[in-house]
Amino acid sequence: MKEVRQPSKKPLIYYYAIMLLVVFVLNALVFPNFNQRAITETDYGTFMTMIDEKNIGLVDIQSNQIVFTDKAQQKIFKTGIMNDPTLTERLHDSGAIFSSEIIDEASPILSFLLSWLFPILLFVILGQLLSKRMSKMMGGGGMAFGLGDSGAKVYVPSSTGIKFDDVAGEDEAKDLLTEIVDFLHAPEKYREIGAKLPKGALLVGPPGTGKTLLAKAVAGEANVPFFSISGSEFVEMFVGRGAAKVRDLFKQANEKAPCIVFIDEIDTIGKKREGNFGGNDEREQTLNQLLTEMDGFDGSKGVVVLAATNRPESLDPALLRPGRFDRRIPVELPDLQGRIDILKVHAKKIKLEPNIDFEPIAKTAAGASGAELANIVNEAALRAVRDGRKAASQNDLMESVEVVIAGYQKKSRVLSDQEKKLVAYHETGHALVAALQTNSAPVQKITIIPRTSGALGFTLQVDEGDHFIMSKEELLNKIATFTGGRAAEELVFGTSTTGASNDIEQATKLARMMVTQLGMTKEFGMVSFESQTNQYLGGGGYMTCSPETQARLDKKVMDIIEEQHEKALALLKDNIELLHTLSKYLYDHETITGEEFMDILNSHKQ
């Protein structure tokens, strides 16, 4: 994925810096030499001969030297002073002109003009010409300088540009974008028939799912220039600059059509305008300019504006009106097959041992984004290098999943013996409750090595295939599993610790969802009491019921969790020997794989 990317302002700055340096060097080294070479030092004898031959033009007798020129005033000479009383007379007779301005032929001001101002001016003019030339050539697809006023970057796809093949697991998005590619390829085809393609499309999805990559791939597939700007770049700008930048961006784009204009993180400028606080003037101006530009340009010319956001709900509705970003392209987290495909795309970039099976890796990395999967592959390669091996192995990949998803292992942070024991029981508690309930996912691996992410233990649960629909029983089992950690602590140590705070949060979230959104309780039935405001950031829901109902809902949530907590306690009590054995194993080895876990579990059952 090689692409030429040149911010427009930089080349000019470099150019001027180099220019100043050149002028400086010239002044320091070359110009003084000129002056010195112009003055030839001669002996007094030659001077006298020249007087006799009447070959003196100008002459200046100074206190320590005599400076003079030949008759034609072509050359300047100098010679020392001698005790020569008749000199002035003889010079006069020879027709020499007495002048005190032979060397200082250029006054200080003039010499400054000549040696500094003039060269600088020359360079500036040259620079202007060059930059005009370059921006013209850009259209030809050769150069990549945008020396306009805006900071919009110009991407010119080279032959190795990003293609749809580089984006895995986003077939739906690719399908939707194919039409745009076709349009950019042959805008005439659409113009002739009178079809109007959307001017703008909005790529919507969580971070790291390949939105930027897809936008680049559209440009790569269509082989058109790619102008990109990020919404966040506007935020730090001086007042008025944002709008100007947008104007420049679209001006450039119009000149280079067909092309793609990509606005990343559009939510930073396209946020809903809130009336009460007077808003952010700069952002509003920028947004207004963007709206104006989108309405103004001729869509049939082949300028397509793509924008990306992970917070579609926060966008100003004006942006989504017809003729603007009226097409929405979802870019979701990859499913199992998608994850396998993404791993394979990135695996091509590193050396791998033969016969790698990507499926278990993709399974373990449930919920990972494309960016995280790319990171996992890279991390595997790093591991191999660290160990001095030539290719990454299956195990490297497997270990990398944990590193990327749970943060680096931090062996330096040592747990006290008691802490370690407690964490071992806590994590085994989760896993055992999960395994004992038939519907819960089996455990892939547990480890009690602290990680930088802050989580002490870490239980990886592998979903068997990706399923989005869960039954009420599965949800309840999940809640029981969340409480299993605390339950084990209580059973064995008779205390509760802070280690379960995240579990409690998760369990509460689930239980709450069951009651207020999923209609999974008899009492409240199929009524939604909560609306989700932010799908991607998991932002808060807001309640749509009376305070009395809310109190009853809260009570129900507590009941559900308490019930599952009791269930977990009972399960662990019934299998207390198993809990001890598994926890001891985990304590001793610091990690236990799903296989080892199930072996111990099954041998106990016999």
How far apart (Å, rounded) are the C-alpha atoms in residues 350 and 374? 11
Out of 221, 372, 489, 503, name the contact with Zn ion by CB under 5 A: 503
Nearer to Mg ion, 252 or 310 (CB): 310
Do the Cβ atoms of 596 and 585 come closer than 8 Å? yes
Q: Which of residues 530-589 bind ligand ADP (CB under 6 A)?
A: none
Instruction: Single out the segment in contact with Mg ion by CB under 5 A; choices: 58-66, 205-213, 490-498, 512-520.
Output: 205-213
Least separation in angstroms between CB 170 and ligand ADP = 5
Binding of Zn ion at residue 489 (CB under 5 A)?
no
Instruction: Report what 207 binds from Zn ion, Mg ion, ligand ADP, none; CB cut-off 5-8 Å by kind.
Output: ligand ADP
Out of 119, 146, 169, 200, name the contact with ligand ADP by CB under 6 A: 169
- Cβ contacts of 449 within 8 Å, gap of 6 or more: 409, 410, 411, 590, 591
Of 221, 379, 402, 427, which is the active-site residue? 427
Nearer to ligand ADP, 164 or 529 (CB): 164
Binding of ligand ADP at residue 170 (CB under 6 A)?
yes
Contacts with Mg ion by CB under 5 A: the residue count is 1
Binding of Mg ion at residue 459 (CB under 5 A)?
no
How far apart (Å, rounded) are the C-alpha atoms in residues 126 and 135? 14
How far apart (Å, rounded) are the C-alpha atoms in residues 549 and 117? 81
Instruction: Single out the segment in contact with Mg ion by CB under 5 A; choices: 168-176, 207-215, 299-307, 392-400.
Output: 207-215
Binding of ligand ADP at residue 308 (CB under 6 A)?
yes
How far apart (Å, rounded) are the C-alpha atoms in residues 555 and 543? 15
DSSP output for 175-205: HHHHHHHHHHH-HHHHHHHT----SEEEEE-
Q: E-assigned strands of 195-338?
A: 200-204, 226-230, 259-264, 303-309, 327-330
Binding of ligand ADP at residue 312 (CB under 6 A)?
no
How far apart (Å, rounded) are the C-alpha atoms in residues 298 and 196? 10
Instruction: Report what 252 binds from Mg ion, Zn ion, ligand ADP, none; CB cut-off 5-8 Å by kind.
Output: none
Instruction: Single out the segment in contact with Zn ion by CB under 5 A; choices: 112-120, 208-216, 233-241, 485-493.
Output: 485-493
Out of 131, 135, 150, 212, name the contact with Mg ion by CB under 5 A: 212
Cα-Cα-Cα-Cα dihedral of 348, 352, 358, 360, to 10°?
Answer: -150
Token pair 């111990």 in the structure block, residue: 600
Binding of ligand ADP at residue 345 (CB under 6 A)?
yes
Instruction: Single out the segment in contact with ligand ADP by CB under 6 A; choices: 211-219, 418-426, 447-455, 573-581.
Output: 211-219
Do the Cβ atoms of 200 and 307 come closer than 8 Å? yes
Least separation in angstroms between CB 339 and ligand ADP = 9
Nearer to Mg ion, 156 or 214 (CB): 214
Instruction: Single out the segment in contact with Zn ion by CB under 5 A; choices: 138-146, 182-190, 400-408, 495-503.
Output: 495-503
Instruction: Single out the segment in contact with ligand ADP by CB under 6 A; choices: 2-10, 107-115, 161-169, 245-253.
Output: 161-169
DSSP 8-state class, residue 150: S
Binding of Zn ion at residue 485 (CB under 5 A)?
yes
Binding of Zn ion at residue 270 (CB under 5 A)?
no
| Closest to 379 in 3D by CA, of 358, 360, 363, 393 | 393
Binding of Mg ion at residue 309 (CB under 5 A)?
no
427 annotated active-site: yes
Least separation in angstroms between CB 337 and Mg ion = 23
- Cβ contacts of 1 within 8 Å, gap of 6 or more: 160, 161, 162, 166, 216
List strands edge to edge, sheet with 97-98.
39-41, 76-80, 65-70, 56-61, 97-98
Token pair 């032929």 in the structure block, residue: 105
- Cβ contacts of 261 within 8 Å, gap of 6 or more: 227, 228, 229, 249, 250, 253, 303, 304, 305, 306
Least separation in angstroms between CB 171 and Zn ion = 37
| Closest to 497 in 3D by CA, of 585, 551, 422, 568 | 422
- Name the packing angle between helices 576-589 and 417-436 (round to 10°): 130
Q: Which residue is nearest to ligand ADP (CB)?
A: 370
Out of 157, 210, 242, 312, name the contact with ligand ADP by CB under 6 A: 210
Binding site for ligand ADP (CB under 6 A): 167-170, 207-213, 308, 342, 345, 370-371, 374
Binding site for Zn ion (CB under 5 A): 485, 503
Residues acting as catalytic residues: 427
